[in-house]
Chain A
Amino acid sequence: MAGILNFGARRKCHLHEGDEPISSVPFVVIDTELTGLNERKDSIVSVGAVRMAGPRISLGDPFYRLIKPRAALTRESVIIHGIMPSDVAAQADSASVLAEFASFCGQAVLVGHCLAIDLAFLDREMKRVLDARIENRLLDTAELFGWMMNRGLLENCDPAAPGEPDLYRLARWLDIPVSETHHALTDAYITAQVFQRFLPLLRREGISTVGELVRIGDPLGGGDRFRIKGEISSL
């Protein structure tokens, strides 16, 4: 650990974005629950997020808000995330929640599992209500998983299981407790823990800066993206 710190210190004089050691970078791990997966019709029901300082998950200040959705909650989505129309009827509209969310995230690197989906909705909604864009650096744990699988870093992972890195299966495999599923905050928390477990494995592969991390974990990085998205869409 000390070695990495020294490495960072030595290079401080010409440190630019991407060179920061992972151990000192703020991350915000996010998840959203949606009325459905149709980008045109559906909208966000809830947003959850937890902060991380390098490998440390901050437990004291989680972010969780329900949003009064524009689209009606479909029967299917209610079954998945358990949020009833009555739960959200009295909630704030997306403008105030997203403004709060944006300030919660600040300049942190945003982390999510299959982040592209959440991002698509968040981006569209931000643009619509706040006329803003998400410009944070992004990191997808599903992408990290794929990268690590390809290098054989996840030796105990069942090779017979399909490549699709379902969050809960991943959690089970890593022995992370899953008390509740399809809830934006607990899912973000699970994702954070998955990410936390990945970090030492990645460090062993020489991944020590944020720049390297976001390159291999780019949510829009590989062709895989569409396949995963397609599979989830067909749920």
Chain B
Amino acid sequence: MIQDEILQFLKKVPPFQFLDDQVLTMVVQNLSMEFYPKGAVILKQDSPASDTLKIIKKGGVKVSVKSKDGEDVVIDYRGEGDTFGLISLMGKERQKTTIVAVDDTICYLLNKETVYRLIDDHPPVTEYLLQSHFTKYIDKTYGEMHSKSLFYGSSDHLLFTTLIGDIAGKEVVTVPESASIQEAAREMAKHRISSIIIADRNKLPTGIVTDRDLREKVVARGRDVSDPVKDIMNLPLIRVDAKDYCFEAVLKMIKHNIHHIVVIKDGALRGVLTNHDLMMLQGTSPLSFAKDLESQQTIEGLVPVSAKINRVVGLLLKEGARAGNITKILTELNDRLVRKVLEITEKKLGRPPVPYCWIAFGSEGRKEQTFKTDQDNAIIYEDADTPAKEEAAKRYFAEFSTLAQDSLLRCGFPPCPAGYMASNGKWRQPLGAWKRYFSSWVAEPTPDAILHALIFFDFRTVYGEIVIGEQLREHLAGILKDQKVFLGHLANITVQNRPPIGFFKTFVVEKTGEHKDQLNLKVKGIAPLVDIVRLFALEKGVRETSTLERIEALRSRHTVVAEFADELKQAFEFIMLLRIHNQFEQIEAGRFPDNFINPSRLSNLEKRTIREAFGLITKMQDHIIEVYKHMIL
């Protein structure tokens, strides 16, 4: 009955609440309990590491670190149900923080062996523990640890510098397609692995079966274990190359919502990479964030989760992530958030009367979001075949978009001041109307039309029937073919925004106002690059919307891009990263993020790189002027 009480306590405490009774009983059997009077030093910085994971049953502790001048800086408080001691337990190093009881405190202590066992066998526990221990720690110390230099910044680039092949499990266990579920499970148990590959007669991998499949498809459904394992395997097999960086694997895992990914090397099966492998490498993961998001069923639940997105950026920055990777991950996370909001909205209103898709444009459409930006979205719905249906669709989407806009606002996306949102009746139209919009903008390139084209042509389907979005994209490619006049107008706008380099190669900065002596990175750096690459992409009918992806797609199709692809990507990544860093620092300092930097605060190397980027922009613009010379005003 003593153990029963502890069991009940653990069932209310993450991550233990994720475990079933059998595992929990094992946990309880390895617990001890200790009492720390108020003021007691439980763990001391630079003393031997903790020998147990401590779960606070009652009371609370404060976590502090010694700053350079010897002062204790409190970085965190932990209360009932929180844990501490994990990092030092796992790190084998000296204790990195000092932990003091702020009240009479009782802790359950879990021994090292059991912690390791849980970490080995239960990835959700690992994720939770690592996340709760690392994010807090890193968040708070980021400001101090953050090095000013962007080039020689932090040392642990892990996710972005570690090859998948370096950390993927090297042992590959396979069973033939003819094996039964039980035989496969036996092999998994024998090798103590959480997944197994199914191979065909030629030893080529055809599918994968994981613990989750055994749980969900076999045990939960009472399926006969003598059935062929083929029946429960996952298809298609999601794979990554051993030569890719771990970050690629993270992205695929988030996308497909899986925890095991097959690693291929030189065309042959090389191993399996698990979420757990990545966690161990990385500490905290965007993946666990994505999962957190996925488990929410209400807008109320989404709000606190979405507030954590900035944290992910901090972490990625610290790991020395490239800008393209940061925005890619952020886009994936923001997309998930939006999808979840829409899903919940659909649940509230019922199924829509006609199929539709939700599109994003602007930076969201280009997958270049940094911190939360304005809502830029619209709805395309299928053309209704009867007036009654059309009327029903109109009513439904009006209500739908209003609800969605409000929910997105609550999740931290402010409404677009210019009203480029689905809640604006103009941007909530059947496919036919959208096609007409696009056609008219191309046919009559008035200043308004050009503005709309710049905004909407970077659209991307985020939710709903992808086919509808594809049809509009198809239409756009069709109407742009040989539209020299329209492209000329775009070209004209693209070359108007010249880089701010003075005669003596100095930066031209804002002369007056709030941002005196500052440089607007978005307007002067990112926007021209985006515009140049968009123009090239529209010229060649490239379907990608992200600037980096467009460059990649244009490499083989556009002679100028073929020559300057690497420089363009580098310039874009550099300015983007500078901007993200700057914004993150502003957020950390409690200010509202903007796009202004003071060039005099940059290192010489950074200044030179920006100058080179501006030089490249000038070169591209000169090329455009040459091509469209008769149209440039």
Q: Which of A39-89 contact B (CB under 8 A)?
A: 50, 53, 55-62
| Chain B residues, Cβ within 8 Å of A199 | 35
Q: A59-B6, A180-B1, A185-B1 are known contacts. Are A196 and B34 too (CB-CB below 8 A)?
A: yes
A2 at interface, CB cutoff 8 A:
yes
Do residues B32 and A57 form an inter-chain contact, with CB atoms below 8 A? yes
Type the 1/0 row for B28-39, where 1 means its CB is closer than 8 Å to any CB of A. Answer: 111111111100
CB distance from B152 to the nearest CB of A (A): 38
A229 at interface, CB cutoff 8 A:
no
A209 at interface, CB cutoff 8 A:
no
Contact of A60 among B1, B28, B104 (CB under 8 A): B28
Do residues A179 and B37 form an inter-chain contact, with CB atoms below 8 A? no
Q: Which of A194-219 contact B (CB under 8 A)?
A: 196-197, 199-201
A13 at interface, CB cutoff 8 A:
no
CB distance from A22 to the nearest CB of B (A): 13
Interface residues of A, count at CB 8 A: 25
B108 at interface, CB cutoff 8 A:
yes
Do residues B31 and A179 form an inter-chain contact, with CB atoms below 8 A? no
- Which listed segment binds A: B40-48, B221-229, B577-585? B40-48
Do residues B37 and A59 form an inter-chain contact, with CB atoms below 8 A? no
Bound complex: CA A179 to CA B5 (Å): 9
Type the 1/0 row for A164-190, where 1 means its CB is closer than 8 Å to any CB of B. Answer: 000000000001000110010110010
Do residues B108 and A59 form an inter-chain contact, with CB atoms below 8 A? yes
| Chain B residues, Cβ within 8 Å of A189 | 2
Bound complex: CA A94 to CA B5 (Å): 29
Bound complex: CA A97 to CA B373 (Å): 71
Residue of A nearest to B25 (CB): A60
* Chain B interface size, under 10 / 10 to 19 / 20 to 34 / 35 or more: 20 to 34
Residue of B nearest to A195 (CB): B35
B109 at interface, CB cutoff 8 A:
yes
Q: A53-B32, A56-B109, A57-B32 are known contacts. Are A62 and B3 too (CB-CB below 8 A)?
A: yes
Residue of A nearest to B104 (CB): A175
Do residues A193 and B35 form an inter-chain contact, with CB atoms below 8 A? yes
Do residues B34 and A59 form an inter-chain contact, with CB atoms below 8 A? no
Bound complex: CA A62 to CA B32 (Å): 11
Do residues B33 and A200 form an inter-chain contact, with CB atoms below 8 A? no
Residue of B nearest to A58 (CB): B32
A161 at interface, CB cutoff 8 A:
no
Bound complex: CA A56 to CA B30 (Å): 12
Contact of B34 among A55, A183, A186 (CB under 8 A): A55
Contact of A62 among B2, B40, B44 (CB under 8 A): B2
Residue of A nearest to B27 (CB): A60
Do residues A59 and B33 form an inter-chain contact, with CB atoms below 8 A? yes
Q: Which of the listed residues B1, B33, B108 has the most CB atoms from chain A within 10 Å of its own CB?
A: B33
Bound complex: CA A110 to CA B2 (Å): 20
| Chain B residues, Cβ within 8 Å of A57 | 32-34
Q: A1-B41, A2-B47, A200-B40 are known contacts. Are A56 and B1 too (CB-CB below 8 A)?
A: no
Do residues A197 and B35 form an inter-chain contact, with CB atoms below 8 A? yes
Beyond contacts A50-B2, A200-B35: 7 other A-B pairs, Cβ-Cβ < 8 A, are A55-B35, A57-B32, A59-B31, A60-B30, A175-B104, A193-B33, A200-B40
